[in-house]
Amino acid sequence: MELAWKGRPAHVREMGQGPAVVLVHGYPLDGAMWSGVARNLSEHFRVLKPDLPGRGGTAAPPSVRLEDCADFLDTILAALPEPVGLAGFSMGGYAVLSVAARAPRNLRALALLDTRADGEDAAGRARRDEAIAAVRSGGAAAIAEEMIRRLLAPDSLRNRELVERVRRLILRQNAETLEADLEAMRERPDQTATLPRIAVPTLVMVGEEDAISTPAEARRMAEAIPGSTFVTIPAAAHLTPMERPGAVADALADFFAGVLAPRA
């Protein structure tokens, strides 16, 4: 898909046919983090993997506001026919929740992966500030190794091919974009009050070893969303779509297949 965003071109990678499913990446990555999941989902769905502004196929400058990321996602949704499923991982989940609060007409289903609804607390804001300082002084390389350790489960860290793929994704992000991401997450709004108002079928998914967005936090989020489905992914920490792409794709496919059937 080709579109314009803030006067700049944006190329959204897509594959497959059927109801559209938009997969939104997290920090400090881009849409390629979904590659394994997307290949499996594309057997039954039209799968789109946008790069949020400031990276990859989206030439527009990065934003320090998650609402701007939500505006970008709204632009993509507006170009798609009904029905549309929207899945957000981590930071992408924050943006997806902002989209859900707007209740777009063609949004039929929501998936929230390894993410949270609350705003940043004082300790979290301090960690963001430390990361911003590191990125300013050393770019992506300054945060890559610590992020890899936080994103992946111990078993995943022993998978050298996976670790190297994650490292490549992080190192190709520019410092300006990473700093904007960190500022956006530091200042993100508390979306807890949005959860009970979500009116579309919702899947909440989390890695059973996730220490960033814990299973307990994810379960509380699922309990606050009317009629939601809760799934844990075994042998995975935070980066479930890359650690366990088959399991994540199966869970997403089962969920979206049940709720994206066109209306009569």
Rounded mean pLDDT of the chain? 95
107-113 vs 84-89, strand pairing mode: parallel
Classify domain 2-118+190-259 by CATH architecture. Answer: 3-Layer(aba) Sandwich (3.40)
Q: How many whole angstroms separate alpha carbon 14 and alpha carbon 88?
A: 16
How many angstroms separate the CA atoms of 111 and 198, rounded?
A: 12
Whole-structure pTM value: 0.96
User: Is pLDDT above 70 for 178?
Assistant: yes
In this structure, what token pair is assigned to residue 262?
A: 């066109």
Task: Give the Cα separation of 116 and 95 in Å (integer).
Answer: 11
Q: Residue 78: beta bridge partners?
A: none
- Whether the per-residue pLDDT at 108 is higher than 90: the answer is yes
Lowest mean pLDDT among 7-16, 31-40, 203-212, 240-249: 7-16
Contacts of 264 (CB under 8 A, 6+ apart): none
pLDDT at position 264 is 41
Provide the 8-state DSSP code for 189: P
pLDDT exceeds 80 at position 8: yes
* pLDDT reported for residue 262: 54
Q: Which residues of 181-196 are buried (b: 16+ CB within 10 A; e: fewer)?
A: bbbbbbebbebeebbe
- What is the tens place of the pLDDT at every residue in 126-148? 999 999 999 999 999 999 999 99
pLDDT at 158: 97
Q: Which band of pLDDT confidence, cut at 50, 70 and 90, is reported for residue 7?
A: confident
pLDDT at 263: 47
Q: What are phi and psi of 205, to 5 degrees?
A: -125, 145
User: Would you say 62 and 95 are in contact if contact means Cβ atoms under 8 Å apart?
Assistant: no
Q: How far apart are CA 48 and CA 263, in angstroms?
A: 22
- Find the helix packing angle between 91-102 and 175-186, rounded to 10°: 60
Average pLDDT score over residue span 182-191? 94
Percentage of residues in the chain having pLDDT higher than 70: 99
Sequence spans of domains, the chain:
2-118+190-259
Please name the residue that has the structure tokens 């039954």.
44
Please give the pLDDT value at position 72: 95
pLDDT value at position 147?
Answer: 97
Non-local CB neighbours of 71 within 8 Å, separated by 6+ positions: none
- Phi/psi of residue 100, nearest 5 degrees: -60, -35
Average pLDDT of the segment spanning 96-111:
94
Give per-residue pLDDT as tens, 31-69. Answer: 999 999 999 999 999 999 999 999 988 988 888 889 999
